[in-house]
Chain A
Amino acid sequence: MKYSALALLRGALSGPDSWSPAWRSPEPKPEYEVIVIGAGGHGLATAYYLARNHGIRNVAVLERGWLGGGNTGRNTTIVRSNYLFPESARLYEFSLRLYESLTRELNFNIMLSQRGLILLAHSRHDLDAMSRWANAMRMNGIDAELLSRDEVAAAAPLLNLSPEARFPILGGFTQRRAGTARHDAVAWGYARAADALGVDILQNCEVRGFTRDAHGGVTGVETSRGPIRAGRIGIAAAGHSSVLARLAGFSLPVTSYALQAMVTEPTKPALDTVVLSPGTGAYVSQSDKGEMVLGASLDLFPSYAQRGSFALTQGILASTLAIFPSFSRLRLMRQWAGIVDVVHDSSPIIGPTPVPNLFINCGWGTGGFKGIPVGGWTLAHVLATGRSHELAEPFQLERFYTGRLIDEAAAAGIAH
């Protein structure tokens, strides 16, 4: 069923029953051509692109809980492609371009709001680092502009513009095509579109083991809803990647951490862009509902608890007030955490695993949301063809042996 204003009008006249389910809740079949483990954004996008790009529709997406219930629904919803290295730039730019057409592609409004992302320069050293960054982005064919202090002030007037500030604002740099999207809508849009192409989304279906053939290759999974066979299996489980890898008998260069985010009570519009202050770690945007969405760095110890430490909450809010002092009287309304899969170079891993027929998409760390379309696209490619997608070639497990890391954070001195 096509979503449109007309459909809403029809719905208004004939009631809820005129709508059809966004996706089915099917029973598992005994066998699929491809199984994707994890019905977050990446897993659902993988299934969608398997069907759409490769004509593989006999696909199941297995989800321990509810679709979109993991990090997809627990992040600060930023999309951007402001990367230094050509490998990352190509990957994330491809993703951003898919985002730009996703609402119509999926017939589901993901509310992509390209309101721009401003990084604040708090020192002359920051200005130099941002000059490198912006110029590198231009080299990579991506929009980037350096901003003067006055331009930053005009874009976000509530910033602490005092020259006496502990972190004075000397300027910044922006990617105007960056912004936010509605996180749930991305998961739901992919789920609905994949379901319409015949993909079975199996919720409350926890993977408890892998079945193997004589050569060690995977032939299927044991789940809480019984065994399911598959020709190829893809893992897209973010913070739980290591748990699945262990079930399959290998380890990953991944550590799981809690990444906190929080929102204030909603207010009328007060911030029209996304602001990131690398010096303080504050990461602020305002949702369409009016909540200030605040993110920052990881909790500093490995964790599978979706909670987050209060010490870090205090740090995040202190950083936020350092750049937005007028937010002091806003009230914190909700705080939560996602479990993110952090690798040494903060870049993803998309490709084969040591286990035949088993493929993985993980390692997005704190930045998985923006990578959903390309993560799905490239995992679908390797699942369908057995070969890594050209965009994903630099992002293989092998780089941890050759030392060819793609360490954006280290190069930029800023956590991605």
Chain B
Amino acid sequence: MMLLSCPWCGPRDENEFACAGTTHIVRPGPEVSDAEWGRYLFFRANPKGVHRERWRHVYGCGQWFNVARDTVTHQVLAVYRMTEPPPAVPGEGP
């Protein structure tokens, strides 16, 4: 069970949070092709390593925030607010 640091509430057990998957996905406009829309909806890098993802402190303040986390070791490399620019973290591929 991971320990995540909510930017508002501090470190809390993983089961207070919900993960909604990859973050920083750019939402295309309605004019794009079906293929591009499908890629936006479903296709993910799914990295084995650093993953930028979106969490919500559901059983807490209810706020969403971003996490950079290693999907193999589960080490949390960065936590930052939705509106903050993504900080660089070690181990992230191109």
Cα–Cα distance between A343 and B44 once the two chains are bound (Å): 10
Contacts of A403 in B (CB 8 A): 34, 38
Contacts of B46 in A (CB 8 A): 242, 251-252, 254-256, 302
B36 and chain A: residue at smallest CB distance:
A401
Contacts of B25 in A (CB 8 A): none
B93 and chain A: residue at smallest CB distance:
A246
Q: Are A302 and B45 in contact (CB under 8 A)?
A: no
**Size category, B interface:** 20 to 34
Q: Interface majority SS on B: helix, strand, loop or mixed? A: mixed
How many whole Å from B78's CB to the nearest CB in chain A? 15
Interface: B82 (CB within 8 A): no
Pick the residue among A253, A304, A344, A402 that contacts B48 (CB under 8 A).
A304
Interface: A3 (CB within 8 A): no
Q: Are B43 and A304 in contact (CB under 8 A)?
A: no
Cα–Cα distance between A304 and B48 once the two chains are bound (Å): 6
How many whole Å from A178's CB to the nearest CB in chain B? 30
Cα–Cα distance between A252 and B47 once the two chains are bound (Å): 11
A241 and chain B: residue at smallest CB distance:
B46
Chain-B contact segment, one of A145-153, A197-205, A305-313: A305-313
B49 and chain A: residue at smallest CB distance:
A304
B contact set with A: CB distance below 8 Å: 1-2, 13-15, 18-19, 21-22, 34-35, 37-39, 41-48, 51, 53, 55, 69, 71-74
A contact set with B: CB distance below 8 Å: 240, 242-243, 246, 251-256, 300-305, 309-311, 343-344, 400-403
6 A–B pairs (Cβ distance < 8 Å), ordered by A: A242-B45, A251-B46, A253-B38, A305-B72, A305-B73, A309-B15
3 closest Cβ pairs, A-B complex: A253-B42, A242-B46, A301-B19
